[in-house]
């Protein structure tokens, strides 16, 4: 009976400890997601400045507009390896952060979508620009020549967010969104070829389409670099982001629920501290 009562008391307070541990993880994820979103927003602000300058004066010399943007595809490498307690929670927080801002259109893919470049491009464009479905090329279908499809996407983006729609956007206090590809679980063994082609083609149209990529890595950045060609690497503006290692998160949980906790639900024995 005494053991049953102790078990009941433990079961009653255990959700509180789970809540404290979850709050530590959430606080850690907020910092990573915020920094990554700020990086993408900064890159997009620079793109918008040049894009609008060229729209206002198409024939003006814009300091090598195309040369400057070609090869500057924003690429955020998010290290979410096996030592991260809850990778899905971090990616969900990132997704919520990007979607809440309203300045991004997010396309989410996983390793199965990177088996072929056609499947990757098809899924990304369908999520980025659903408006493309009203054109002769239906959403979710990519022509044999992927470059032609990207050119079509650039035309759709221009018609929706360009000068003709600029007045409506200002009234709605919106700006043309950045097109972000989130690769949730990059597979270093099978995803290299499709990602190479995605980088080369999308960077070629960087002046017309504000594409960015966020890649969730289970291993180190070096493993990704080994899969990309020198041409693809030269067209990236890379920034690395990393969540706190599991050991640090564990220390923070202990600090919150045991060391500096003001709401003790049970008492630790002296031998616990001695060991």
In sequence order, which residues have a C-beta less than 8 Å from that of residue 137 and are 6 or more positions away?
A: 143, 149, 152
120-138, pLDDT tens digit by residue? 888 898 899 887 765 444 4
Per domain, the residue ranges of the chain are 2-57+65-117+177-265
Specify which residues 75 forms β-bridges with: 213, 238
pLDDT at 218: 72
pLDDT at 274 over 50: no
pLDDT at 236 over 80: yes
248-273, pLDDT tens digit by residue? 667 777 777 766 666 655 555 545 44
Q: Which CATH class is domain 2-57+65-117+177-265?
A: alpha beta
pTM over 0.85: no
Q: Which two tokens stand for residue 88?
A: 């899905």
pLDDT at 88: 78
In sequence order, which residues have a C-beta less than 8 Å from that of residue 191 and are 6 or more positions away?
A: 111, 114, 183, 227
Integer-rounded Cα radius of gyration of the chain? 23
153-167, 214-228, 232-246, 256-270: least confidently modelled range? 256-270
pLDDT at 273: 46
Please provide the DSSP assignment of 117-158 as one string: HHHHHHHHHHHH-GGGGGSSS-TT---SSHHHHHHHHHHHHH
């Amino acid at each position: 009976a005494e053991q049953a009562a102790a078990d009941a008391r433990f079961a009653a307070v255990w959700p509180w400890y789970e809540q404290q541990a979850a709050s530590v993880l959430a606080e850690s994820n907020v910092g990573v997601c915020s920094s990554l979103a700020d990086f993408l927003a900064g890159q997009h602000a620079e793109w918008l400045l040049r894009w609008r300058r060229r729209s206002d004066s198409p024939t003006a010399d814009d300091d090598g507009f195309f040369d400057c943007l070609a090869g500057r595809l924003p690429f955020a490498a998010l290290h979410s390896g096996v030592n991260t307690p809850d990778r899905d929670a971090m990616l969900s927080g990132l997704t919520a952060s990007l979607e809440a801002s309203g300045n991004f259109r997010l396309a989410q893919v996983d390793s199965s979508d990177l088996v072929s470049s056609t499947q990757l491009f098809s899924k990304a464009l369908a999520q980025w620009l659903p408006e493309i479905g009203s054109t002769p090329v239906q959403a979710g279908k990519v022509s044999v020549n992927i470059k032609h499809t990207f050119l079509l996407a650039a035309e759709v983006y221009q018609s929706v967010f360009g000068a003709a729609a600029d007045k409506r956007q200002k009234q709605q206090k919106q700006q043309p969104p950045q097109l972000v590809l989130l690769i949730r679980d990059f597979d270093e063994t099978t995803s290299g070829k499709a990602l190479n082609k995605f980088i080369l083609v999308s960077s070629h149209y960087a002046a017309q389409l504000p594409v960015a990529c966020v890649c969730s890595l289970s291993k180190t950045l070096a493993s990704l670099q080994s899969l990309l060609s020198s041409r693809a690497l030269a067209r990236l503006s890379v920034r690395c982001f990393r969540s706190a290692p599991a050991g640090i998160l564990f220390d923070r949980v202990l600090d919150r629920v045991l060391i500096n906790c003001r709401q003790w639900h049970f008492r630790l024995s002296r031998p616990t501290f001695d060991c």
